[in-house]
Amino acid sequence: MNTFYLIFLYFFIYSVLGWIVETLYCRVKGGKWTNRGFLFGPYCPIYGFGALIVIYFLNYFTASPIKVFFYGMIFTTALEYLTSFLLEKMFNAKWWDYSSMKFNINGRVCLLNSLEFATLGMLLTYIIHPNVSEFVLKFPELLRQMISTSLLLIMTIDACSTVASLLNLKEKLAILEDFREKIKAKNPFPQKISDFYLYKELSELRRNLISKRNFQIERILEAFPNFEFKDLKTQLDEFKLDLHLFKQDLKKQRVERKANKKIKK
């Protein structure tokens, strides 16, 4: 168990460091701060798993930096591909898409990312982990256990909350899709006035979905702009548009309130 706690601490530390790297990268590339992670907290588990692979599987090749680089590239690329595949199977959703990048495989991985991961693997093996390991091992075993247990609980709650929010959104979008299909079956001609109430009811359902804002969902959609439910793409696109318009309206209202306060003063 002591080994488990130590490994989990490494996993958490590198998940946080990975989140920092992703956040800074997106800040430089996109010009704005974004919480780049599947979970709400400041950590990216895929980096934690990738770091553990590098630490424990490439430890046998540290005498050869070339092997560390290429094996690290292979292992981390395989991890990213597997993560993309599993997330897609779990949610029937696409999280990222590198189809526009050169030398990609099914849009799940690309050469540029693989080279970046390999470089990070080199830094981790020869510079970062020796210092992190020295620092962590200074903690008493009991303290490591307490910290690891607390962090594991936090991440578990975070993961459950995130998955629940996504499944809830998918369920609501599916309801909207079913309602839309019923409208089409009942009234194939949208301009027919007699069935206008059905479209009005659909609009009301969409407004209710937006009004009950879920900041977890909003964060995910911002962090993964290419995210889509493969079987509910149209509904999700409409939801994103409705959400954007809703935010714009709220922003406009805030500006108007501030202007009215200044006038009253």
Domains contained in the chain, number:
2
71 and 196 both lie in a single domain: no
Question: In the predicted model, is pLDDT for residue 111 greater than 90?
Answer: yes
| Strand pairing category for 93-94 and 228-229 | antiparallel
Token output for 95: 């999280």
Neighbours of 109 (CB within 10 A): 24
Within-domain flag for 10: yes
pLDDT at position 25, please?
A: 80
* Phi, psi torsion values for 63, nearest 5 degrees: -70, -15
Is 161 domain-assigned?
no
Domain edge (last residue) among 152, 175, 203: 152
Cβ-based neighbours of 113, under 8 Å, separated by 6 or more = 77, 80, 98, 101
> CB under 8 Å, gap of 24 or more: what pairs does 260-263 form?
none
Residue-averaged pLDDT of the chain: 84
Cα angle 80, 49, 145 (rounded to 5 degrees) comes to: 160
156-203 pLDDT tens trace: 999 998 888 888 888 888 888 887 777 677 665 555 555 566 666 677
Contact 144, 136 (CB under 8 A): yes
Based on the fold, state whether residues 144 and 171 are members of the same structural domain. Answer: no
Please state, in angstroms and rounded to a whole number, the distance separating the CA atoms of residues 252 and 68. Answer: 53
110 in the same domain as 17: yes
* Residue 59 DSSP one-character state: G
Three-state secondary structure call for residue 47 = helix
pLDDT by residue (tens digit) across 130-144? Answer: 999 999 999 999 999
Cβ–Cβ < 8 Å for 135, 147: no
Distance CA 201, CA 39 (A): 34
Residue 48 shares a structural domain with residue 94:
yes
- Strands (E) across the chain are located at 93-94, 104-105, 109-110, 228-229
Whole-number pLDDT of residue 188: 58
DSSP string computed for 159-218 = HHHHHHHHHHHHHHHHHHHHHHHHHHHH-S-TT-GGGHHHHHHHHHHHHHHHHS--HHHH
Write the single-letter amino acid at 153. Answer: L
pLDDT of 195 = 57
The predicted pLDDT at position 187 comes to 62
Q: What is the pLDDT of residue 213?
A: 67
Q: Among 38-47, 121-130, 169-178, 226-235, which range has the highest average pLDDT? A: 121-130
The residue segments making up the domain with residue 182 are 166-264
